[in-house]
Amino acid sequence: MKCITGKVEHDSEEIALEVLIKNRIRYDHREGSGPIDVYQCAECAAWHFTSSGPPASVLQEEEVIERIRTEKRLLDWSDKF
């Protein structure tokens, strides 16, 4: 079923958070822009991104911050070839 919000649906919080991290890697969001957390939708019960509120705690973890930096550098190099 398609959510009436029109947002992309994720089956679980864990999946949504992993896709959020990959989104932060792939797209060059400026500070304070782009999706920063996930929430469970009251309409469809799936998980969606939000750009409101404080960032997800997972985005504050040093391991995840380093992963995002590293994978962004790798992506940047692969785009040059």
pLDDT of res. 71 = 94
Question: pTM surpassing 0.75?
Answer: yes
Q: Return all residues near 22 (Cβ < 8 A) that are at least 6 apart.
A: none
pLDDT of res. 16 = 98
pLDDT in tens, the chain (81 residues): 689 999 999 999 999 999 999 999 999 888 778 999 999 999 999 999 999 999 999 999 999 999 999 999 998 776 665
For residues 33 and 11, give the distance between their C-alpha atoms in angstroms, rounded to a whole number: 24
For residues 24 and 73, give the distance between their C-alpha atoms in angstroms, rounded to a whole number: 13
For residues 29 and 32, give the distance between their C-alpha atoms in angstroms, rounded to a whole number: 8
Token pair listed for 47: 């998980």
Domain spans of the chain, in order of start: 13-80
